[in-house]
Amino acid sequence: TDLLRSAFYRGYMKPRKCEHAIGLCFWSGERLACVITVMRSGPQGEARVPEMNLLRRFYAEFDIALRRIRSLEREHSARAAFETFLRRLPLPTMLLRWSLRLAYQNKAAREFCLAWREGPHASRLMKATPATAPVPDEILDGCRRLKRRWENASGVNAEQPTIEQESFHHAKWHQLQVTISITHLSTVGLTPPDFFVQCQETRVPGAPAITEENTRLGHYVRLT
């Protein structure tokens, strides 16, 4: 203990002309997760009893904040892993915020948006970029419809509505299908949900009627 105190003094306190320190230790089970150190100069002197009592009261607030940071880190890691997984799938996938701002879109989704705008044949001769393949208005309108239904079903005393979804096809190229779901990806209950958009070309041109058996992505996109 004395050796650690001496090393801490030489490494951190002395260059900052500090002589006193108070450490708040935060644990995750039996593992030390974080230490918050308050350092004081010689003229400031050691912490007095009222100051120590104040730190003890703040300890619980710091602990809550650190747990929230860990939760956000886990959520961020889960989203990053989820996005990495989706990039490897041929299924076009997008995530839109409650404000309809695009939060995530894989390469297949950009190509789908271009096909929705230009047609399946013409889009194959073009490069899908955010400029050439914006989110189609029909998809944004579908999100707005779901948003209105969600807000109408959500009241101060109402239970949280169940997750809804809406599916529709392109008006001209009927093989292009979109499914929009409302889902909570955040761990904070007060935050609004997100729109999870799955796109699919349900049959190739000239194919027979649409069935689950002859969908282009119906089988292997569901493999775990």
DSSP 193-204: -EEEEEEEE-S-
Q: CA dist 63 to 25, 44, 54, 128, 159, Å? A: 9, 26, 14, 47, 31
CB 187 within 8 A of CB 180: no
Sign of CA dihedral 38, 43, 45, 49: negative
Mean pLDDT of 114-139: 92
φ and ψ at residue 209, rounded to 5 degrees: -55, 155
Sequence-distant (≥ 6) Cβ neighbours of residue 175 within 8 angstroms: 120, 169, 201, 202, 203, 204, 205, 207, 210
More confident residue, 15 or 136: 136
Residue 39: which of 60, 11, 18 has the closest Cα? 18
**Over pLDDT 70: what percentage of the chain?**
73
Nearest 5°: the CA angle 136, 141, 146 is: 130
What pLDDT digit, counting tens, does each position of 176-206 carry? 999 999 886 554 455 678 899 999 887 654 5
Residues of the chain with pLDDT > 90: what percent? 28
Amino acid type, 179: T
Task: Give per-residue pLDDT as tens, 70-103.
Answer: 888 877 777 777 766 666 666 888 989 899 999 8
Q: What token pair was written down for 44?
A: 């400031």
Can you tell me the distance from the alpha carbon of 137 to that of 85, in angstroms, rounded to the nearest whole number?
A: 27
Cβ neighbour number for residue 125 with a 10 Å cutoff: 7
Averaged pLDDT, 143-171: 75
Nearest to 45 by CA among 22, 69, 67, 75: 22
Band (pLDDT 50/70/90 cuts) for residue 214 is very low
Chain centroid, CA 194 distance in Å: 9
Write down the pLDDT at residue 61.
92
Which residues does 36 contact at the CB level (< 8 Å), separation at least 6? 23, 24, 26, 62
DSSP 222: G
pLDDT computed for residue 182 by the predictor: 87
* 3 state SS of 180: strand
